[in-house]
Structure 1
Amino acid sequence: MMWRKTHLFLIALAMVVTLKSPALHAAQDQNSFENPIIWADVPDPDVIRVGNAYYMTSTTMHMNPGVPIMKSYDLVNWEIVNYVYDTLGDSDAQALRNGQNEYGKGSWASSLRYHNGTYYVVFSSSTAGNTFIYKTRDIEKGPWTRSTIGFYHDMSLHFDDDGRVYLVHGSGDIRITELHSDASAVKAGGLNQVIIPNASQVAGSNIGLPAEGAHIQKINGKYYIFLITWPQGKGRTQLVYRADHITGPYEGRVALDYAGVAQGGIVDTADGKWYGMLFQDHGSVGRTPFLVPVAWQNDWPVFGVNGQIPAQMPKPVPGVNSNHKIVASDEFEQTRLPLVWQWNHNPVNNLWSLTERPGFIRLKTGRTSTSILDARNSLTQRSIGPESSGRIAIDVSQMKSGDYAGLAALQKNYGFVGVKMSGNSKSIVMVNGSGAAPVEVASVPLAQDKVYLKVEMDFKNRTDKAYFYYSLDGNRWTAIGDTLQMSYTLPHFMGYRFALFNYATQSAGGYVDFDYFRIDNRMTGTEGAGESPQSPVQSGSVYKLRNAHSSMVIGISAMSTANGGQAVQWNDNGSADHQWRFDRLSSGYYKLTNIHSGKVLGIENMSTANGASAVQWDDNGTADHEWQLAPVGDGSYKLVNRHSGKVLGVDGMSKTAGAKIVQWDDNGTADHNWSFAFMR
């Protein structure tokens, strides 16, 4: 059944429509959001609300620790706060031993519930051939206790009002199985029957994949079961069934058929609004979560607006100023790994250390491997869209002959840039593993012990390409090798990940020290990572911004000090609102703070549209408040917005005082060019 499921998934994947979205590992706007809420691999989400907090679990399969617990206060910005388990078992497949692996297997499709002060997470593992029921009183700290039952496909846990407990599960025919009241085991003699036969039938007769992915909820006395199916020639389609009794009879309908966004349940806010947490197959970045508004009509949940998902929506809980913490840079200065990291398969804990060399993570080799795919202790984070860049600094002085270490774009069709040790000689290599056998595409001799490596991934418009770079000083970068055409393959069933790795091919015992991993939501190519000697400003200093086309300077309309005050051009009259402090961020971008108002320059509503107004706002950490200074070549610079990728210019190329400052695609016009007049 698994082969049939994944084969049909591959057919449907190529047909999914991509929705326009910004990079969203940074903070979303305080009062609105765009989908996907996280442009990264967070498949099979299940969400609950407990008080004013939301918790979500997701599938991470062969990565450990497994089944992340994510927390949010607004359903849009999420932080990983825990995992359900460190490792699920120690079989050869789970530990990458004896030629076995569990790529694309491991733990799948968890169900998260809260009942009488206890949190429950249930999921199945095709590797173990079982379903596991974990529970805890403290979802953020644990500890967890575990029960094991037989294998149940895509199950959903339900605690009914009468104290009985059930799993709803299956593919095609949807079944119910009763558990003991403590959800620890299957109840002998309890309910065990089909409750929805041939559940795909409400989507028509031309079905490629039987209904599955059950989520059961009881709302206002009725039972609702959410499923997905795959009609031939279309993407995932969301179904909903309802009944007055848990055993039925159930009536069903198509709940959402839009851009392949489907599979999940619904959740309410404290003030009574409803949302579906679904996901979309989004190419090689993985399966990305979508938050979809839900309205109620005649006791039916209606997804979207007129059958579509709006491009931008008000946040379910406005005013919450929080950030995604799904990926993050790491200087390795702590004694524990942050929760954004996961190991590829089970780690070998005595072969890595954060304490043997403080400020570094040390990865040691403990055996020989054939490639990165069977290497132990590869440390990974998700990639992010629409584009992302990861870079490392690595000390390779203790490598042994035959060792490879570096940074990879990890999936079955992988690529990496790393250091190869041959005898006593080191070289920087780029390896493309997308073909029948990995190919060492390029090699450059290395005569020093510390080197800087970078991998960049471009997911815009399904480009799905990865690029590889090295640097000898951490600032001047050189491209190496060829471009990796990334592809979402079913053997791994996971979006591409950045992976720090070290493996031996001849003998064990070598080690490398990683100084840092730094991730960004833009590609920098051969740009320097440090302060450029050609930078027109000094961080912390104050400047006027003068337009090359109009010769006017940027100020705030009517010298407003309010959030949303419009940035305009004006004759230089020396007023304080014409002065801006430039503060350089670790990413190389700048924040521009108005001296008069104390607010920072950003884009109204975090828009990514041409013509959107530049406005001032409280510094809340959003990416639209960050600007890159890009040299034009004539002494002037463009200001490129980190969130939208567009440049700052003057509305209509006006030369009139009071004309709005807006963002626009970089089309080479002179009003996009700015110079900087030092004030103090």
Structure 2
Amino acid sequence: MDMSWPHQSQPLPRRRALAAATGLAAGILLPTRTSRAAASGPTQASALNAAASYANPVIWQDFADIDVIRVGTTYYASASTMHYSPGAPVLRSYDLVNWEIAGHSVPVLDFGAKYDLNGARGYVRGIWASSLAYRPSNRTFYWLGQIDFARTYVYTATAVEGPWNRLTTISTPYYDAGLLVDSDDTLYVAYGNTTISVAQLSPDGRSQVRTQQVFTAPPSVGTLEGSRFYKINGQYYIFLTRPANGQYILKSSGGPFGPYTMRQVLLDLRGPIPGGGVPHQGGLVQTPSGAWYYMAFVDAYPGGRMPVLAPVSWSPDGWPVVQLVNGTWGSSYPSPAVPVPPRPVTPMTGVDTFDGTTLKPRWEWNHNPDNTKWSVGNGLTLRTATVTNDLYWARDTLTHRVQGPTSTATVQLDHSAMRDGDRAGLALLRDSSAWIGLERDGGVTRVVMVDGLTMDGNWNTTGTGTEVASAPVSGGRVWLRATADIRPGAARPGTFSYSTDGTTFTRLGPVFSMGNDWRFFMGYRFALFNHATQALGGAVRITRFELSVP
């Protein structure tokens, strides 16, 4: 193991010295309410320099409905992925600030044909707010989530990289669930929308022993959901969100089934992303030295929902208090005091040449792929898997989150094996999409920019796209580029360009204005695709993908 000082995967400003005049509220990192886990952890004697600071968002990529835990000195977080496969990514960090994608808890969305784009589609279904927990008694990670309001699935793994295997299905759909491993090793689940319930699972985690309603949100508060379940100093807490502008907590000293009392944690709090929303729907986590943090997300469309981090103190009567900067969620805070990381995390930007035998965990397919139609090693080969004129129906479309506030994706693509009618390229993919790519018709290949790919509110296709610019290309390879500015605001521009030598790029087509409606939930993604409009058999090979920031 490399024990040398890690290079930070985030820009240097994230680690800049803390300015003296932060305006940080008093009582930061109040080390009371230290859990049993903290007592056995390393002390601050081995901590990083606490004079540094971090900037929010800690991750400027789309990771929503966060559940965050600590195992030893390592932090893990899980997030929603809707219709993308594999689902439920697991992120890993050693300092709560710099994160990498380590794996996925749900290897394939095997919940019906619609997740295969087979006669139906699963857009905005699939992996919603779910829960990640670690059970010390068997040294196992648990992921738990409901699918399609039908049933709950539980997956387990002894390492977050996998393999993850389905442990069981439970007939009760635990909506927006939070899984608690109690100090006596009993498994409990808090769940529900406005009416909040707690279920107890069997010792093996495979079935439900009992469930009981424990709280109903008062009309003055309205909807509460997004449960996270904790036991801290012998008291039970259910952390709940009021979408999308508030956070509340329930507390019980009488056991996991209550009775519970409620307190507001935050409401209409200005967040750290200009033009973005209120931080909400995340989780609490404690460092080995006893400090507490709240990791939430901010609605920041068109990019999605971005994780932000703030320290938490505790009131004398046992309620969490988010530490604010001048009355707002801070754009920066002192860095958590943690042991020196054992290694640098893997950056979420950079180059992928698709070496090895598997895709790296930064990638997720739009619905489940046809695994007979793609391969990696010496590049990514995408063979046409669907005959369609609609990208939203095309299987084996591979996606990558956009990095904020602005980023550029560049791909090198070998198109020599395309066939007539094939369409391949690089898209900015959401319910309103555009792409740059190649069309081969009548033996002639052109590079084109297409926009006007649209869905309605039921996620049915309403526009399959209109070619708005084109240029001839020769030879067998081309470089395609898409730049996305996902800062919330009026412009939200996406631009496309191409190159025949990898050095000089030519803009193609008008600026594409990315949509910022929240109802699709997931933010824009860069997407690599190859589909047929006439017959299967063609292929492209992507030898290099680079995600870069200015």
TM-score (norm 2): 0.84
Supply the distance in 2 between the matched residues of 1:427 and 1:510 (Cα, whole angstroms): 16
The 5 Å alignment of 1:278-317 reads 278-298=296-316, 299-305=318-324, 307-317=327-337
1:440-479 equivalent positions in 2, closer than 5 A: 440-462=467-489, 463-479=491-507
Contact conserved, 2:141 with 2:159, CA < 8 A, in 1?
yes
Displacement after TM superposition at 1:494 (Å): 0.6
Matches within 5 A, 1:395-414: 395-414=414-433
Say whether the 8 Å CA contact 1:63–1:344 is kept in structure 2.
Answer: yes
In the superposition, relative to structure 1, how do residues 139 and 518 fare at CA in structure 2: closer, same or farther (>3 Å)? closer
Identity of aligned residues (%): 36
Aligned to 2:203, which of 163, 181, 185? 181
1:367 to 2:386 alignment: yes
What residue number does 2:32 align with?
Answer: none
Aligned to 2:258: 248
* Residue matched to 2:286: 268
8 Å contact from structure 1 (residues 26, 323) kept in 2:
no
Mapping of residues 37-186 of structure 1, within 5 Å: 37-89=58-110, 91-98=112-119, 100-115=120-135, 116=137, 117-126=139-148, 129-150=150-171, 151-186=173-208
The structure having more radius of gyration, on CA atoms, is 1
Q: Deviations over 1:289-326 (max 9, x none)?
A: 11111001121100122652222111113665734533
Asked if the contact 1:432–1:441 (Cα under 8 Å) also holds between the matched residues in 2, the reply is yes
* 1:484-503 equivalent positions in 2, closer than 5 A: 484-489=512-517, 492-503=520-531
Q: Which amino acid aligns with 1:56?
A: A
Asked if 2 retains the 8 angstrom alpha-carbon contact of 1:103 and 1:491, the reply is no
Which amino acid letter does the alignment assign opposite residue 239 of structure 2?
A: F
Once superposed, which parts of structure 1, at least 4 consecutive aligned residues long, lie more than 4 Å away?
23-27, 318-321
The two structures, once aligned, show a CA RMSD in angstroms of 2.1
Amino acid at match of 2:336: P
Distance 1:333 1:139 in 2: 22
1:629-640 equivalence runs, <5 A: none
- SS at the partner of 2:154? strand
Q: Which structure carries more relative contact order (alpha carbon 8 Å, separation 6+)?
A: 2
Rounded Cα–Cα distance in structure 1 between residues aligned with 2:179 and 2:368? 27
Give the corresponding residue for 1:378. 397
Supply the distance in 1 between the matched residues of 2:164 and 2:116 (Cα, whole angstroms).
23
Matches of 1:142 and 1:292, distance apart in 2: 32
Residues 629-648 of structure 1, C-alpha deviations (whole Å, 9 max, x = no match): xxxxxxxxxxxxxxxxxxxx
* Alpha-carbon separation, structure 1, partners of 2:336 and 2:65: 21
Q: Whole-Å Cα distance in 1 between the matches of residues 283 and 376 of structure 2? A: 40
Q: Contact 1:412 / 1:491 at 8 angstroms: preserved in 2? A: no
Name structure 1 gaps, 5 residues minimum.
Answer: 1-22, 523-680
Q: What is the alpha-carbon distance in structure 1 between the residues aligned to residue 11 and residue 367 of structure 2?
A: 28
Measure the CA separation in 2 of the matches of 1:369 and 1:491: 26
Q: What letter is aligned with 1:29?
A: R
Tell me how far apart the structure 2 counterparts of residues 70 and 351 of structure 1 sit (CA, whole Å): 28
Q: Letter of the aligned partner of 1:241 in structure 2?
A: L
In structure 2, the CA distance between the partners of 1:200 and 1:352, relative to structure 1 (3 Å rule), is farther
Structure 1, residues 26-61: CA drift from partner, whole Å, max 9, x if none?
564273211110011000111111111111111112
Contact 1:426–1:445 (CA under 8 A) maintained in structure 2 = yes
Cα distance between partner residues in 1 of 2:386 and 2:109 = 22
The residue aligned with 1:227 is 240
Query: CA–CA distance in 2 between the matches of 1:308 and 1:399?
Result: 53
Counterparts of residues 531-550 of structure 1 (less than 5 Å): none
The answer on whether the counterparts of 1:123 and 1:133 sit within 8 Å (CA) in structure 2 is yes
Pair 1:237–1:200, CA change in 2 (3 A) = farther
Structure 2, gaps ≥5 residues long: 1-7, 17-51, 271-277, 455-461
| 1:392 alignment partner, one of 386, 411, 415 | 411
TM-score, with structure 1 as normaliser: 0.68
Q: Residue 512 of structure 1 aligns to a residue in which SS?
A: strand
Deviations 1:100-148 (A, max 9, x none): 111111111121111222221111112x822111122333333534210
* Gap change, CA 1:80 and 1:52, over 3 Å in 2: same
Q: Distance in 2 between matches of 1:302 and 1:446?
A: 60
Match of residue 216 from structure 1: 229
> What is the count of residue pairs matched by the alignment?
482
Which aligned pairs between 1:566-645 and structure 2 lie closer than 5 A? none
